[in-house]
Structure 1
């Protein structure tokens, strides 16, 4: 093929093209350099303060310092609630790149049970203030701490913190009186002071722990620390120390509290003991109890379900929320009400044929002794617990005056000062029944109220408070659990205290006391076996509360009934009569007559407080109860 002629080079054209390209390249470099310099100027000059602050925040961190919770002691200085060192796992969501991946890794490292995984994840997502740590797990063991330490580089935002954790040495004995602390939930978090509770993961949930939360908690502090790029603390730059919570001294006596718990061992019931002159609660027990330490770190589902499904209701505080018919324990108060209203006199005598009948009514309201007690005056009516006397008294007083007089002793009201969750019980009236059932009040219901049955419901704390007021000759001192907050004593004159009960004739108190003393020491006293060997003067009153109603011609036979259908045993008492130091109420569910079972427990509590070393042991009392089982002398 013929050769194509070669193309001649044009140096001028090539030079022109080169210059154009070089110019374009220079323009690009100048533009990019300008943009870079402008960006640097913007970041370093215009935005200097913003990025300096961000850099400082990455280098310097503010950490909250939670305060130590105040300790709780009994009246003698015995520690009831302390703080033990422990390790908690916390997470700051803002420092975590992938929350789901981090949680899955933690579940694996900590070997979280399957049933706890959902709760574990929910705690991580619980609403928190920005950069505030969320508590994932408390009381880590050594293996769990080691696993977190080895994998720390994979867990940004996750920390193991050393903190003090609440611990109750006598958890079951004190559970209902002290209450417990638990993790702060979302609702509580929204209401709490963010500054005061910074870094705090626990708050009082029930009982004394909740009522005195403000005093026990204290004030959070903070510290400023310098960290490296990995978030590890290099040094502390500054600190504001937290203010610890106030220590709390209670009126409870740990020995008396334990005795009450031991006396009720194996039974459902409650014992409350009060110092009448001061209102100090010496013992307040509800059985069965539960281990309150489980709730501090978060009780597992299986254990909580077992407590909820337990037929004995260990979580239920019978001392302040249990509603029971007062039974015959109401008779001393009703007798005083009758004297005040002028319905009876101390020497008035009735004839008891074994029953009472309303005018124009064929129904017979039976005395517990079916053939009757014959001639009965006020003192004997208390000693033998005669029902007929109080049927007659109640009918003559009427429900309106009964309600008025019994309100003065605190029935149907919350009587405690610092008792979290107390119930008011129920003192019936015609207005209450109309509002509740839209029915009128019937005369037969007044007779039931006259012996503490029917609609009338009391709590053990109410009974003890009323007994203390009776022992004080009508002077009201509101029951309380706190003796001192820090070094400051809690005053006796508390808000909400009821007015004193004043009688026209002061000798009426003595006549009621005489009748109550004969309950324990008289030849016919319903609790005369309990009163054998008394070294002090004690007034008491037994009571038997029906769990279900009997027909008019039916007779009660405990052996034919299921255990939970048997009568409740009640007893109230105070001693010494001339200078009362203790007032006690006892309720033992389904134990039968109060003249045996409950009376022995009240005597044991009184002996322990007044005689100390001479008081019998709980085991001896239980043996006596087994020996006297079924020997009921009255209701």
Structure 2
């Protein structure tokens, strides 16, 4: 550093002058330039004081704004930053069969949760990417849930269910690299019998955003698991229970300091169904891998003992993340169609309705005898007899036993289309049965108005004759056909099929008298018994079963193979069970394909083993 010497320089030795000449200083020069000589040394101090006043005033104003104007908002934010809400989902009610055997219950598993407030919104995207990669969960599904809950939500959000040990280990190993993810125990739906009765059981699944918006008014919340099909959906209000949860205080690291509040979750109610597990198993085995359905019910009150449809599915897969492979299989097999409640041509099983219309109108009384032919010519349409020759003169009982088309075609043409349609609907065809399941189809009983609307053509005698043998436009579900067979079985009552178990003493709650003549019921029963004892249903005329009555049906179903039907009830004198078997596009007759299926179910119900050969 260079110093400025303000002292006079030494005089040279040879100099004769002793006079000192003072040199002006730098400060003196500046004073001359500015003209200021007083107070200059206090300028910096004053400037610092002024700046301090301005800064303190701004800080004070900001504190005033934060504490007074925005105090409540900030206190709430601070509270949320240390308060965590841990929801506790209720345990879903169990499903039992009529004898108390478990059909659906819950099991413990692990789920992954996110806490949105664990970090800033801008940091979540990378965090979610890592979590999705660890869990094998689509990143967009996690992002959607966090967006839906809100990034300021103090509530944990479930992002994955039924974690595997490998997923849990991965979370723990990489915990230092991910924020806000936790693993906790939860209960999920479990079906111990797998695919059995899957169409009746249905399945459960978490509400998506659209479903949540629709159900929020009913008290549902994000993360709710609800019944999506079958009795799980039908009895949802009973099974669901009520949410509970914990309110926790946590520190900056997310460590729980104390429990601030707790509400116990209220479990759902158990529901006992009318299904009989052993009969259901027998029906599943009888249908096997055939496309079709089997329905068994109690004709006294409409209790459904078994309901089977194939293809079927395993409802357990919906209790965890569905893999792409499983989803592909579900798309290919389309197993969610419950064929027990879908309409198909009922074929000759419908002749019960035709005979009823003939006798109840009085136009064809119980002692009627009609000639039969190789075919019946109606309005240019030929209705052929299945044996291509006719059976000669016959009455109701023999016509039912041998399933004569020309006999029943004459009855149908004689009573007329409107009358046949009336008795069809009286039996419950063309309308839902009222069973609790929402997947039910009403089938179809066409009339003149329907045909004009669909085909711009009037109803003809040919349409009536086709209907009289269960063909043409007529569509009936296996469940509807079972309800039809219950009428002659129980003495003339139309039952309402149901799955909620009620006392048999309360049977009048589930049935309505059709007020048929006793003679009509008597002839129907005799004819159906003759089918098994001497007609097309001899496969059920076996000594180890009580006397059985029933009817076969073989429906034309172009362009595919024919459908096979058989409906029956037993014991004949005091019926306890109705069984209907349907095989879609089986290509065989009802007596040869469907009747053995009915027999197998009845053997299970009556615990009757066939004799060994």
Partner of 1:412: 430
Partner of 1:512: 524
Do the aligned residues in 2 keep the contact of 1:86 with 1:140 (CA within 8 Å)? yes
1:253-292 superposed matches below 5 A: 253-292=276-315
Partner of 2:125: 100
The partner residue of 2:385 within 359, 362, 367 is 367
Q: Deviations over 1:373-421 (max 9, x none)?
A: 1111011111111111101001111111111011011101110330121
Partner of 1:430: 448
Partner SS for 1:342? coil
Q: 1:161 to 1:201 in 2, by over 3 A?
A: farther
TM-score, L = length of structure 2 = 0.89
CA distance in 2: counterparts of 1:306 and 1:471, whole angstroms:
41
Q: Deviations over 1:174-201 (max 9, x none)?
A: 2111100112111111122379434634
Partner of 1:552: none
Instruction: State which structure, 1 or 2, has the greater radius of gyration over its C-alpha atoms.
Output: 2
1:566 aligns with 2:561: yes
CA distance in 2: counterparts of 1:286 and 1:198, whole angstroms:
33
The partner residue of 2:248 within 213, 216, 225 is 225
The partner residue of 1:528 within 538, 562, 575 is 538
CA distance in 2: counterparts of 1:212 and 1:489, whole angstroms:
21
1:537-552 superposed matches below 5 A: 537-548=547-558
TM-score, L = length of structure 1 = 0.86
The partner residue of 1:593 within 586, 589, 595 is 589
| Cα distance, 1:63 vs structure 2 | 2.8
CA distance in 2: counterparts of 1:100 and 1:507, whole angstroms:
77
389-398 or 168-177: which moved more? Answer: 168-177
Partner of 1:607: 603
Do the aligned residues in 2 keep the contact of 1:426 with 1:455 (CA within 8 Å)? yes
Q: 1:492 to 1:103 in 2, by over 3 A?
A: farther
| Cα distance, 1:46 vs structure 2 | 5.9
Partner SS for 2:195? helix
Q: Deviations over 1:68-98 (max 9, x none)?
A: 1111111111111111111112334454432
Do the aligned residues in 1 keep the contact of 2:374 with 2:389 (CA within 8 Å)? yes
Partner of 2:52: 29
Partner SS for 1:372? coil
| Unaligned stretches of 5+ residues in structure 2 | 1-7, 10-21
Do the aligned residues in 2 keep the contact of 1:216 with 1:248 (CA within 8 Å)? yes
| Cα distance, 1:501 vs structure 2 | 0.8
Do the aligned residues in 1 keep the contact of 2:349 with 2:470 (CA within 8 Å)? yes
Q: Deviations over 1:237-261 (max 9, x none)?
A: 2211111111111111111111111
Partner SS for 1:574? strand
The CA RMSD measured in Å over matched residues stands at: 2.7
Partner SS for 1:608? helix
CA distance in 1: counterparts of 2:459 and 2:314, whole angstroms:
45
Runs of 4 or more, structure 1, over 6 Å off, are 488-491
1:121-520 superposed matches below 5 A: 121=142, 123-124=144-145, 127-128=148-149, 131=153, 132-193=155-216, 196-198=219-221, 200-310=223-333, 313-321=334-342, 323-358=343-378, 361=379, 363-483=381-501, 499-503=512-516, 505-520=517-532
The partner residue of 2:105 within 82, 85, 97 is 82
CA distance in 2: counterparts of 1:363 and 1:417, whole angstroms:
38
CA distance in 1: counterparts of 2:74 and 2:42, whole angstroms:
43
CA distance in 2: counterparts of 1:29 and 1:190, whole angstroms:
55
| Cα distance, 1:58 vs structure 2 | 2.0
| Cα distance, 1:289 vs structure 2 | 1.4
Q: 1:118 to 1:315 in 2, by over 3 A?
A: farther
Do the aligned residues in 2 keep the contact of 1:537 with 1:575 (CA within 8 Å)? yes
Q: 1:435 to 1:534 in 2, by over 3 A?
A: farther
Do the aligned residues in 1 keep the contact of 2:87 with 2:156 (CA within 8 Å)? no
Q: 1:147 to 1:236 in 2, by over 3 A?
A: same
Instruction: Report the count of equivalent residues.
Output: 584
CA distance in 2: counterparts of 1:6 and 1:616, whole angstroms:
137
CA distance in 1: counterparts of 2:507 and 2:51, whole angstroms:
88
Q: 1:196 to 1:434 in 2, by over 3 A?
A: same
101-110 or 569-578: which moved more? Answer: 101-110
| Unaligned stretches of 5+ residues in structure 1 | 550-564, 625-635
Q: Deviations over 1:552-574 (max 9, x none)?
A: xxxxxxxxxxxxx3221101111
| Cα distance, 1:119 vs structure 2 | 5.6
Partner SS for 1:159? strand
